[in-house]
Every structure is written in C-alpha cells, then in structure tokens.
Structure 1
Amino acid sequence: MGAIIGLRRWRHNPLRRTTDLVEAWLALAALLLVLVAAPLVGAAVGASVQGTLQRAVRDQRKDRHQVAAVVVRKLSRGPLAPDPETPSGRDTRSRVLADWTAPDGSPQRGTVVAALKSPRPGDHFSIWTDRHGRIVGRPLDGTTATAHAVLAGFGAAVLSAGLIEGGRRWILWHMIRRRYARWDRAWAKAGPDWGKADTGS
C-alpha cells in the first residue's frame, strides 16, 4: 500500500524535492518486485518442494508395504487419541499385540496401534511395514505432497513480498532521518533570531 501511495509523488509539483522523486522511484521498484519477483520466487520454491516431496512419495511407496495383521490380544492400556490422518479424525485406536507376516516372508509379532474400537483376538487390520516387517508410518501420498508444495510456494511469495516492502520502508526511514538531520542543520544555521524584526535577516 505504501508503494502505491509513493507513486503519487510523480505528479508535477513545484515543491517536489529530489528525495520525493527518489521515493517515487523506490515505490515503483518495490511495486514491480512485489508483482513480478515475489510470484517467481514462490513458483520456484513450490516447484523445488514439489520435486523433493514427489521423490519422497516414490521412495516411500517402494520401501513401505501395507500388510494384514491379526489381533492376538488387546493390551491393558485404554484407547489412544484419534488418528489425525483419518478423514473424520474420530476413529478410536487401541494398542494391541498382533501377528503379521513381513513382505520378506518372516513372521512378526509386536505391539501395534490398531484402528479398531474394540479389538478382539482374531480381528484383522492393516499396518505399514518396511520389507523386513518393522512398523513404519503410512507413506506420503501425492496429493498431500502437492498441497504442501503449494503452501510452501505461497508462503515463499508472501515472505518475499514482505521482505521487499520491509526493505523499501527501511530505505525510506533512512532517507527521512537524513532529511530531518538536514533540516536541523538548516535551523541551527538560521539561528534563534530567525524571523524576528530588526535582526538583520
């Protein structure tokens, strides 16, 4: 907004100072950078993050496998907090002792968190493991990766615009300080009697 206000100083005005013209150029440069450079920075950051996350998606799909597990028994602890990755966020999860077969064929048994409200022995549920049967998190999906990349690009564009406007204000602040210092020197030269009658001025 300050950049647009600064553009008004372009008008022809006999009282316009050189610093007013510099402020106008500064405002125009900041406005152009906000409109052109900030979106380019956002697009570049978004594309870079998208590439990195999509590589992570491919790697995780290769290394993580969904396998069926069977409840051996429910453990004494009560239900756990809702899983934030489920669509509703309301699915109760319970800690159970379970058996499963790893992708390499080895039998596994361990404590896992099952997306079951009231798990009973013999209930089946899905878990994610690596190729050796160790429990791992659910792999990142492509849609979530794209959403994260878009948010990163948007954040980078907004941050760039903020830095440009902050830089413009910082330069303007220094210019105003110099202007005030010149005014102080001019007033000091004029002396305390400036404008009084019969002072020879």
Structure 2
Amino acid sequence: MAFRGPKVWLWRWRRNPLRRRADAVEAWVLLGAWLLTVLAGFLAGVAAFRSVEHELARERHEWRQVVARLTDRAPGTAASVRNPDAPRVWAQVRWRGPDGSPHTGQVRVRPGSAAGTPVTLWTDAHGRLVTRPATVSEARLRALLVGGLVGVTAASLPYAAGRFARVRLERRRLRRWDMEWARFGPLWGRKTG
C-alpha cells in the first residue's frame, strides 16, 4: 500500500511548482459541475414543489361535494348494507352539474343499496366525477415528494456531466504522462560517468 500524506484542501488552487495546468482546469470543471448540480437541483425542486402545491390548492378550491342518487339497486345482499366492513361494489349514480345539466357515472357503494339512495361524491367545475381533493397536509407531502424527486433528477444531469468531464480529463492527463514517460524513461536506465 502506498503512503498517502495528509489531505490538503484546495491544493489545486494553491501555488505549487508541481501543479499542472490540467490540475487547475480539473478543479474549475469540478467546482462548476458542483455549483450547477446544487443550483439545478434546488431550482427544479422548488419549481416542481410550487407547481404541485398550486395545482392541488386549485383543485381544493374548485372541486365540490355533490349528493348523487343511485339509479338502480346496487349488486349484493341487503344484509351487507348494515355491515360497514363489507367490500364496496360499483353502481350507477346520477347527479346535476353546477349548470344544472344531468350527469351519470359509476361509484363504489355498499352492496345491496336501494335505488335512490344518496351518495356523496366529488365533481370538478364542469360537473365531471373526480376523486376527493388532497387535504392541505396531503398536498404538502405530495408536493415535497414530487419536488424532491424532480430536484434529484435535475441535479443528476450536471453531476453526470461533471463526472464524465473529470474522467476525460484524467484520461488525457494519463496519456500525457505516458508520452513524457516514454520520452524520459529510457534516459534513466543509462549510466553516467
């Protein structure tokens, strides 16, 4: 195992007779890649967070609860109507939109529910059937998860580009070293005197 001395921070920027130009170029490339990684990840994550949170707040504001009525008897037995743990079944319901137009759709209800039974559901501004909107805490969590995922994904691009550039610079440096060694290596084998 080779001996490694103490780690010297920022050695590529310090004045040193052994520092090559390639070392300084690599240092600046790495610094730029890290700055772009952090900046791209942060900005993309914040933008996605705000966008998702805004969209979910809009849904909470526009979507409304509506009472619909079953058009036919729901499949299943009447005994299961009294059992709150019974699995729900799909049934046809009818409701009126905000403009008074009739709408129909399928929702889950208790098995055996009679025709005309009221069912509470959610509709959008056009009266179309939608799911329950996310609460404020659910929206915040969803926005955080999406923002984090988008931020990490956006940060991976400049990070990968920086790693690629570093590998290319390392290979170039090793090729130059091989060329210089090929030129001066044979001179070390001669005896002087």
* TM-score, scaled relative to structure 2: 0.64
- In structure 1, C-alpha distance between the alignment counterparts of 2:130 and 2:40, rounded to whole Å: 38
Aligned to 1:186, which of 157, 180, 186? Answer: 180
Give the secondary structure class of the aligned counterpart of 2:73: strand
Q: What is the CA deviation profile of residues 109-137 of structure 1, one whole-angstrom value per residue up to 9, with x for unaligned ones?
A: x6733232x3332544323457887x622
Aligned to 2:49, which of 46, 50, 54? Answer: 46
1:93 has 2:88 as partner: yes
**Would the aligned equivalents of 2:56 and 2:134 in 1 still touch at CA under 8 Å?**
no
Give the secondary structure class of the aligned counterpart of 1:126: strand
Q: Counterpart of 1:167 in structure 2: which amino acid?
A: A
Q: Counterpart of 1:189 in structure 2: which amino acid?
A: R
Alignment of 1:61-100 (within 5 A): 61=63, 65-70=65-70, 72-75=72-75, 92-98=87-93, 100=94
**Would the aligned equivalents of 1:47 and 1:149 in 2 still touch at CA under 8 Å?**
yes
Structure 2 gap segments, 5+ residues each: 1-7, 77-84
Residue matched to 1:165: 159
1:175 has 2:169 as partner: yes
Give the secondary structure class of the aligned counterpart of 1:150: helix
- In structure 2, C-alpha distance between the alignment counterparts of 1:6 and 1:30, rounded to whole Å: 18
Q: What is the CA deviation profile of residues 65-118 of structure 1, one whole-angstrom value per residue up to 9, with x for unaligned ones?
A: 522323632337xxxxxxxxxxxxx872202355x4424275x7x6733232x3
Give the secondary structure class of the aligned counterpart of 1:21: helix
Q: Which moved more, 1:43-52 or 1:172-181?
A: 43-52
Q: Pick closer, same or farther for the CA change 1:14–1:58 going to 2, 3 Å.
A: same
- In structure 2, C-alpha distance between the alignment counterparts of 1:196 and 1:93, rounded to whole Å: 88
1:25 has 2:20 as partner: no
**Would the aligned equivalents of 1:102 and 1:132 in 2 still touch at CA under 8 Å?**
no
- In structure 1, C-alpha distance between the alignment counterparts of 2:114 and 2:147, rounded to whole Å: 48
Give the secondary structure class of the aligned counterpart of 1:179: helix
> How many residues matched?
173
1:127 has 2:121 as partner: yes
Higher relative contact order (Cα pairs below 8 Å, separated by 6+ residues): 2
